Structure 1
Amino acid sequence: MTGRSPSVQQGFTETRNANSGLKWETTTQINIGLDMALLENNLILGADYFYKKTKDLLVERPLPPAVGGTNQTLWDNVGEMENSGFEFLLAYQDEINTDFSFHVDLNFAAIQNKLTSLPEDIDFLSIPGSVLHTTNFDQEVSRSDVGQPIASFYGHDAIGIFQTQEEVSAHAEQPGAQPGDLRFRDINEDGVINDEDRTFIGSPHPDFTYGLTVGANFKAFDLSLFFFGSQGNEVYDLTRYYGDFFNLSAYNKQERTMDAWTPDNTDTSVPRLSLDDNNRNARPSSYYVQDASFLKLKNLQLGYTLPASVSEQLDLRVYFQVQNLFTFTPYEGMDPEVGLQNYSSDNRNLDIGVDRGIYPPSRTFQLGINLGL
């Protein structure tokens, strides 16, 4: 704007900060394996150990506001990560007679992940605060730190519910706490509960995963089932953030709030209902972390091949198939198989195992025909 006559001058602003030293990640991997075939190739055994080291991890780092521009982040190469583990395979097939045959395939994998190095100017990796609102309801729920698995859950350790005022008074100073509120562990034992008492409270990575495929043929009928399971993985259930706490009153509440703590209902894990939440019960904590181990029947298919006398010169098979038939899990959310969310920037690939109300996989029923000429 110049003088008394306002005018707009066209200009430019930087929308993306460049890094001339940026390069691809480098991965080195070692595999040691053993494969065997026994019993006239009816029994197959496989075992594999692997170690993979990744250097120059690609991460979008936040920059100080003084940098200016519309994008205050910078893609950079930071840190190193290790993955190691075992994978096993057991497969058996047999033909009992001309009418009946079967096969069983079992696989098992145990993988360990660990961040092993970060530059001196980076204490940990996390999702930038500018995108926490869209991803984690304003909560920093995970961190990637040296010695820890990538995207480990981070927050306060909730160790129960205060039952009496005497328990509140005897505990470390926890501002705003009343009977019925969550009690948090004094990690550094300084007598005060604050942000210094946050710690690693869980991991989205399983101890092991496994799969089982079973198939059988009896005369013209065939049957196949595929099971998949995961053990030891945890989920950070962020649906509880808006679903359990009444100070966030613009949202529907979970059914379990009907069992919230009251002086007459003390045998519960749900804190008291409050419109002000002076204790900050809704803060990031282990209250949200749940065991999400599961076993799923991913696919079941039953088929029937018509005799040649019926289908003449055609190979005709009809089948009935069900996907996602059932899930066994202690997880209380919609689906325990959360995994990595579909994000593309802002380090959201570090946001693993956080449930914001994901849509569960559909159970589908199919009737089909296979036709061969």
Structure 2
Amino acid sequence: MKKTSDLIYDRYEVSTTQFFLPNITANVGKIKNTGVEFSLNAIAVKTDNFKWTTSPNIAHNKNVVETLSDDFYKIAFVQTAQLGGKGQSGNFSQLIQPGHALGTFNLWNYAGKNAAGVSTYVNAAGQTIATQPLTTDAKIAGDAQPKLIYGWANTFNYKNWDLNFLVRGVLGNKILNATMASLNNPADAKLQNIPRFTLGESFNDTNAYLISDRFVESGSYLRLDNATIGYTIKPKTQSIKAIRLYVTANNLFVITNYSGIDPEINMGGVTPGIDNNNYYPKTRTYSFGVSASF
């Protein structure tokens, strides 16, 4: 368990009869992380010609904001992740609130399409509306923190051959695909390219691009991070003990249900788990090499 205290926030409201300005910066907030990690290094199989070494690991962490206030400085929550978009300037997509994790989404509640093909939303009173909701209609819609983080490294040796690879991934996290939301405007079909996703939208849907929980997706993935296969030659000479030829590939594939470019997006800072036109895709690389021992 790790507790972080005296976190800085610069917008605590104070009385102007006591202070020069209506807002002040103070070290008040507290965050707690609790979790467990398990790892194993083992030789799973070993014979005269074959050896398999494996190293799985798995970790779970629970993040929670404990407090943002003390006896003097008080605030109920902090709104974060101001993403913008058409008609959405000043809207926030996440909040920092005691009892919730960093990266908690606070979004409009999508309720499907009406008979005219227009996206509808549930307002704060529980009514379904076909107009743009108010900021007060936003509701908690999950968070970006993964439930599990895992990895699995393996090395195989068979006679002169060797193979090693690493798979890793996360489970249980959410991603807000704001990139898809901003591009999902059927009216733009006359003017520019649109995502394939938008082909299924009604041209009448003037709400299609609004950032809502409709665009919160599973961020779980499994990635084959790297793999190397090599062959070792042992020359019949005293000057060179061995020559190894190898081929390495990185970022071979990703298994995920996320519809964006890549589910492995930024998880740092106070606004994790948001894809908002700010990601450059990872490259897949191949390399060939030769090494020698003398």
State the SS of the aligned residue for 1:196.
helix
Amino acid in structure 1 at the alignment position of 2:100: Q
Shift of 1:107: 0.6
Work out whether 1:202 is the aligned partner of 2:202.
Answer: no
Amino acid in structure 2 at the alignment position of 1:221: W
- State how many pairs are aligned: 277
The CA distance in 2 between the partners of 1:229 and 1:112, in whole Å, is 17
Amino acid in structure 2 at the alignment position of 1:87: E
Amino acid in structure 2 at the alignment position of 1:257: T
Q: Taking every aligned residue pair, what percent have the same amino acid on both sides?
A: 25
Shift of 1:74: 6.8
8 A Cα contact 1:245 1:273, kept in partner: no
In the superposition, relative to structure 1, how do residues 365 and 128 fare at CA in structure 2: closer, same or farther (>3 Å)?
closer
- 1:1-373 matches, cutoff 5 A: 51-61=1-11, 76-94=26-44, 96-119=46-69, 120-127=73-80, 132-133=83-84, 138=89, 139-162=91-114, 164=115, 179-189=116-126, 194-246=134-186, 252-261=193-202, 272-274=203-205, 277=206, 280-309=207-236, 312-340=239-267, 349-357=269-277, 358-373=279-294
Amino acid in structure 2 at the alignment position of 1:286: D
Shift of 1:315: 3.2
Gaps of 5+ in 1: 1-50, 67-71, 165-178, 262-271, 342-348
Amino acid in structure 2 at the alignment position of 1:80: K
The CA distance in 1 between the partners of 2:240 and 2:233, in whole Å, is 11
The CA distance in 2 between the partners of 1:126 and 1:368, in whole Å, is 51
Shift of 1:75: 5.4
TM-score, normalization by structure 1? 0.67
Gaps of 5+ in 2: 17-21
For residues 287-327 of structure 1, what are the alpha-carbon distances to aligned partners after superposition, in whole Å with 9 as ceiling and x for unaligned? Answer: 11111111110011101111142684243212101101000
State the SS of the aligned residue for 1:332.
coil
Amino acid in structure 2 at the alignment position of 1:354: I
Aligned to 2:19: none
In the superposition, relative to structure 1, how do residues 282 and 260 fare at CA in structure 2: closer, same or farther (>3 Å)?
closer
Amino acid in structure 2 at the alignment position of 1:326: F
8 A Cα contact 1:62 1:128, kept in partner: no
The CA distance in 1 between the partners of 2:204 and 2:237, in whole Å, is 68
8 A Cα contact 2:223 2:255, kept in partner: yes
In the superposition, relative to structure 1, how do residues 247 and 231 fare at CA in structure 2: closer, same or farther (>3 Å)?
same
In the superposition, relative to structure 1, how do residues 294 and 95 fare at CA in structure 2: closer, same or farther (>3 Å)?
closer
8 A Cα contact 1:214 1:225, kept in partner: yes
Cα RMSD after superposing both structures: 2.9
Aligned to 1:22: none
In the superposition, relative to structure 1, how do residues 97 and 189 fare at CA in structure 2: closer, same or farther (>3 Å)?
closer
The CA distance in 1 between the partners of 2:127 and 2:214, in whole Å, is 22
The CA distance in 2 between the partners of 1:230 and 1:150, in whole Å, is 17
